[in-house]
């Protein structure tokens, strides 16, 4: 058998062997062969809330990658919206105050009980309310709180700063609260309930209470005793 005949015979033999081998034959199972759990294998398609995602050997195709990135952008936008809602609410308060007067100089009092026509979020209908917007832009601010009130001071992100009145450090007896600007490092005098808000602008609101069913005594108490002024 010459060289060319031997080559031809080898090619035919190889073709015969290949023809007799199944197309899906796999490598023989070795001693250390570990089966891959089905739940670790990325399927070719996945049905999701944002549509069908397609994968090739575990990698997303171009359309799927774009769809997933678009969904991440949308989620970031929703998160930013939700995170900013408290600040937007406080800004709405500030815009409302601007229609009546300047910050630190304007006090809004509901002299009667609120009702269904009062556009307040979560407000009660059993007590009058007093609201102030306080700014420490020009330095520390003193707020003299009347006795027998109940409420909080919140910063410009609606984060709690301090309670005043019954649940505050004055225990409902009234007292002087000192609001310090963010990062304030100056001297802090004695005789004040000190509050350190993290923002310059702050919202103070508190309730007064009825006396024999009458809101007027509580409102008059606020008008007589509530004061706001700079620390001199």
CATH number at residue 113: 2.60.40.1610
User: Would residue 177 count as lying in a domain?
Assistant: yes
pLDDT of residue 117: 83
How far is 222 from 164, CA to CA, in rounded Å? 13
Q: Using the predicted structure, report yes or no on whether residue 10 has a pLDDT greater than 50.
A: no
Lowest-pLDDT range of 19-23, 88-92, 163-167, 208-212: 19-23
Q: How many domains does the chain have?
A: 2
User: Last residue of a domain, which of 79, 99, 119?
Assistant: 99
Mean pLDDT, rounded, of the chain:
88
User: Would residue 1 count as lying in a domain?
Assistant: no
Q: Which domain holds residue 75?
A: 36-99
Instruction: Report the percent of the chain where pLDDT is more than 70.
Output: 88
Query: Does residue 43 or residue 14 have the better pLDDT?
Result: 43
Q: Is 224 found in the same domain as 119?
A: yes
User: Would residue 4 count as lying in a domain?
Assistant: no
Work out the pLDDT band at 174, boundaries 50, 70, 90: very high
pTM of the model: 0.74
- Tokens for 68? 């997933």
Q: Is 56 found in the same domain as 85?
A: yes
Lowest-pLDDT range of 36-45, 131-140, 150-159: 36-45
pLDDT of residue 119: 79
User: Would residue 7 count as lying in a domain?
Assistant: no
Q: Is 89 found in the same domain as 117?
A: no
How far is 174 from 150, CA to CA, in rounded Å? 10
Q: Using the predicted structure, report yes or no on whether residue 210 has a pLDDT greater than 60.
A: yes
Q: Are 53 and 45 in contact (CB under 8 A)?
A: yes
């Amino acid at each position: 058998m010459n060289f060319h005949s031997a080559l031809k015979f080898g090619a035919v033999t190889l073709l015969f062997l290949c023809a007799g081998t199944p197309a899906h034959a796999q490598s023989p199972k070795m001693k250390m062969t570990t089966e891959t759990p089905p739940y670790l294998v990325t399927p070719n398609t996945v049905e999701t809330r944002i549509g069908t995602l397609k994968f090739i050997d575990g990698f997303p195709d171009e359309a799927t990658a774009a769809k997933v990135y678009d969904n991440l952008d949308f989620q970031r936008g929703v998160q930013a919206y939700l995170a900013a809602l408290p600040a937007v609410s406080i800004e709405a308060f500030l815009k409302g105050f601007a229609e009546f007067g300047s910050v630190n100089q304007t006090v809004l009092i509901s002299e009667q009980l609120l009702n269904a026509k009062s556009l307040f979020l979560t407000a009660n209908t059993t007590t009058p309310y007093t609201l102030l917007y306080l700014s420490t832009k020009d330095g520390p601010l003193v707020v003299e709180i009347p006795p027998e009130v109940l409420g909080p001071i919140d910063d410009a992100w609606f984060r709690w700063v301090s309670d005043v009145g019954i649940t505050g450090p004055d225990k409902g007896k009234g007292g002087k609260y000192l609001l310090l600007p963010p990062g304030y490092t100056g001297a802090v005098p004695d005789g004040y309930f000190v509050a350190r808000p993290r923002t310059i602008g702050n919202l103070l609101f508190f309730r007064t209470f009825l006396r024999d069913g009458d809101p007027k005594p509580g409102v008059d108490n606020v008008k007589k005793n509530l004061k706001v002024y700079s620390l001199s």
